[in-house]
Amino acid sequence: MSINLNAPELYINREISWLKFNKRVLDQATYDDLLPLDRLKFLAIYGTNLDEFYMIRVAGLKSLYKAGVYETGPDKLTPLRQLESIRRHLHGEIEILEELYLNVKEELEQNGVLIKKYEELEDGVQEKVKKHFFEHIYPIIIPIAIDSTHPFPHLNNLSFGLALKLKSKDGQIKHGLIRVPRILSRFIKIDSVFIPVESIVKHFASELFPGFELIVATPFRVTRNADLDIEEEEADDFLEILEEGLRSRNKGAIVRLELNGDADEALVNFLCKHLNIKEKDVYYYKHTPLNLGAFWQIVSDKDLAHLASPAFVPRTLPPLDSSDVFDAMEKSDLMLFHPYESFEPVVKFIKEASDDKDTLSIRMVLYRVGANSPIVKSLIDAVRSGKQVTVLVELKARFDEENNLKWAKQLESAGAHVVYGIPGFKVHAKIAQVIKHKNGELKSYLHLATGNYNPITAKIYTDISFFTTDTRFSSDATKFFHLLTGFAADKKLDNMYMSPTQIKPKLLRLIEKEASYGKDGHIILKANSLVDQTIIKALYKASIAGCKIDLIIRGICCLRVGVEGVSENITVSSIVGKYLEHPRVYWFKHSKIQAYIASADLMPRNLDRRIELMVPIEDRELSNRLYQILSTQLSDNTHRYELQYNRDYRKVKPKKGEEVVNSQELFEKYVSKLSKLTKKSSSKHISKLAKKLLKES
């Protein structure tokens, strides 16, 4: 009997799958062993994730609906049905969110930290707040009257403020707004009390509208469509059109209005009318302050460090703890597992190259580098010392455009050759090449990775770094950078694999070959997302052939498990913990080269519409180390969730008599043990010991 692998019931909607991922993030706040600020951190992450989801994904669905698009994916759900499902899911989740927030708030109170509205404060604290208001808030905020001569103002994306109903001395009813600018702290801290700024502004609203009595006020927050639509082919100056796009981000259609649960009905109608938004896109929070992401202010408060788990200190392992990065690379290929292993050797790789008189050239792709980048500063130093520096700065890295624009201009001003991207494609590859003149010949050194060149996120994202001097990879790297800076009809590499032309075909061949081994076949794929229908169909075929398939997909997964005759041999796990699981690692039991690391997720945008790299890990010890990492994660029974046939995720718990396995905690422990090795240890020695330690764990 033939099976229709295009049947919509075989696919999970990507937006619904993402919502379930964000629910798993929220679920982290329920773990018993967490301190209160650890819990609050997950509420903040949940909120910032949701902001981006609305700005991009929901906004996109609304645009598709207005354009009359009927189907958007293999699951065949229409944009309207997806929007309805999203609203239903999120409206239902508010109660769970608020219960978690109240629990965290109570825990903080038990530790002497209070989150209170102005009206809940004791008289002495209110006096301090009053002084703070007139000294620090009153001079900054602006009252806005709304009437025939004062039109409703434009509100930028993620604007936050208060809508007010006021009464004049002669009994006239007026409406007004008070925008709370982002330069003000979301919470005003007085002693150990955090007071939401809107409750202070609300109390003193009459001071801003003298002669008027405040009848009612409600805090509100708006979310706009923030996706940039840039016609690259029509742009003579890409920088100029990107800057215009960034300015237009605050002009997109409003897609969400957030309000307090006790919002006055007339004020709600007033806001909905002027913002042109429907009631079904209004979200009411009874207990939780608007803008969950602002909880980072409390989480990051240094006075409260005792209420959060101490941060793990990444280790620099032998031989990189004592030797020059380049000397170590010449002895053997090196692999780092961040954030357990320090990102500092990557920073040193560029810094040492910029300082070395033998360095002729440095080439890099920068996707997300952060606001204060030591790597970019080293590149600028390299240019000033006469070295050739070529950098592709991907200006279309979503929500990092302004940072990248700043660095691109500084690099270009210093004299670097800067490429701003490739028309029609995002460049998402993670690669740096250093070329030196040594012993009368040119020598190439490569860094290839699954993550970005950002030392800050490298402390909280798990990623793989790979250093090599392999001449085959170096030849490909040179070809790759020539492709980025010039014209090339042949967009293929010889030893690495590049999308959009090579990664998907290679993965499909690897899956098909492993499937040919039937029940003896085994595939492990670790990625952030699995959406690509062609890859999913190949995995279904492999499962039908009897091949065992373990997928570790942190976020979106559109593949269904447990479908009789189709996916009974497939498991899907998602690990959510203190670190963001970010590596893309692909492993095939019977392949001559078993392990591959990649910058690309298993999504159409990565495989078909981006320039990405996938790197074969030929060294057997390094390949085995990757397998041990994957195996350890598959045995996690603390922070791992398993996808079920009904499309929901079940938290995996230790069975009776089974040892507790927290994979992220285990990696911290074994890297700590590895760091105690003698300085003479080689990379291969470390890989062997890592394997032994993981097995013991």
Q: What is the DSSP annotation of 612-643?
A: EEEEEE--HHHHHHHHHHHHHHHT--SSEEEE
Extents of the domains making up the chain:
115-307, 325-485, 497-696
Listing DSSP states for 440-491 in one string gives TEEEEEEEEESS-S-TTGGGTEEEEEEEE--HHHHHHHHHHHHHHHS--S--
Q: Which residues pair with 445 in a beta bridge?
A: 434
State which amino acid sits at residue 470. Answer: D
Closest among 638, 660, 664 to 651, alpha carbons compared? 638
**DSSP code at position 323:** S
Strand order across the 114-115 sheet: 114-115, 193-196, 187-190
User: Which DSSP letter does residue 648 get?
Assistant: -
Q: What is the pLDDT of residue 242?
A: 46
Please state, in angstroms and as integers, the Cα–Cα distance from residue 360 to each residue in 324, 356, 417, following that order. 18, 9, 14
Q: Into which CATH architecture does domain 497-696 fall? A: 2-Layer Sandwich (3.30)
What's the maximum distance between 2 C-alpha atoms anywhere in the chain? 91
* Of residues 427, 411, 317, the one with CA closest to residue 683: 317
- Number of helices and strands in the chain (H, E): 21, 27
- Terminal-residue alpha carbon distance, the chain: 45
Q: What DSSP assignment string belongs to 196-237?
A: EHHHHHHHTHHHHSTTEEEEEEEEEEEEE-------GGG-S-
And the tokens for 235?
């742009």
Predicted local confidence at residue 139, as pLDDT: 94
Architecture of domain 115-307: 2-Layer Sandwich (3.30)
Rounded to the nearest angstrom, the gap between the alpha carbon of residue 626 and the centroid of all alpha carbons in its chain is 22
CB proximity list for 7: less than 8 A, separation 6 or greater: none
User: What does the alpha-carbon distance between residue 451 and residue 461 come to, in Å, rounded to a whole number?
Assistant: 8
Q: Which pLDDT score, from 0 to 100, does residue 239 have?
A: 46
Structure tokens at 93: 């989740």
Q: Are 338 and 464 in contact (CB under 8 A)?
A: yes
User: Which candidate in 175, 203, 338, 428 is catalytic?
Assistant: 428
Q: What's the CA gap between 221 and 238, in Å, rounded?
A: 32
**What is the distance between the alpha carbons of residues 92 and 95, in angstroms, rounded to a whole number?**
7
- The structure tokens listed for 636 are 């996690």
Angle at 203 between CA 202 and CA 207, to 5 degrees: 90
Which CATH code fits 325-485?
3.30.870.10
CA distance 450 to 637: 25
| 287 assigned to active site | no
Q: How far apart are CA 292 and CA 40, in angstroms?
A: 9
Backbone angles phi, psi at 231, to 5 degrees: -85, 90
Residue among 307, 310, 312 at smallest CA distance from 40 = 307
R_g of the chain computed on alpha carbons:
27
* Domain 497-696 in the same topology as domain 115-307: no
Positions in the chain short of pLDDT 70: 1, 228-250, 396-400, 487-490, 677-697
CA-CA distance, 31 to 42, in Å (whole number)? 11
CA–CA separation, 675 and 672 (whole Å)? 5
Backbone angles phi, psi at 69, to 5 degrees: -70, 130
* Residue 71: both structure tokens together: 């189907």
Give CA–CA dist 197/186, Å, rounded.
Answer: 6
Coil, strand or helix at 52: helix
Distance separating alpha carbons of residues 26 and 560, to the nearest angstrom: 23
Structure tokens given for 96: 């769970």
| Phi and psi at residue 581, to the nearest 5° | -70, 110
User: Among 405, 423, 340, 336, which residue's Cα sits nearest to residue 369?
Assistant: 405
DSSP state of 495: S
Q: Read off the tokens for 387.
A: 């070295």
- In whole angstroms, what separates CA 404 from the centre of its chain? 17
In this structure, which amino acid lies at residue 209? F
Mode of pairing for the β-strands spanning 254-260 and 282-285:
parallel
Q: Which is it for strands 610-617 and 548-553: parallel, antiparallel or unpaired? A: unpaired
Which stretch of DSSP H or E encloses residue 596? strand 595-598
3-state helix, strand, coil in the chain (%, to 5): 40, 25, 35
Please give the structure tokens belonging to residue 541. 């075929």
DSSP 367: S
pLDDT of residue 677: 66
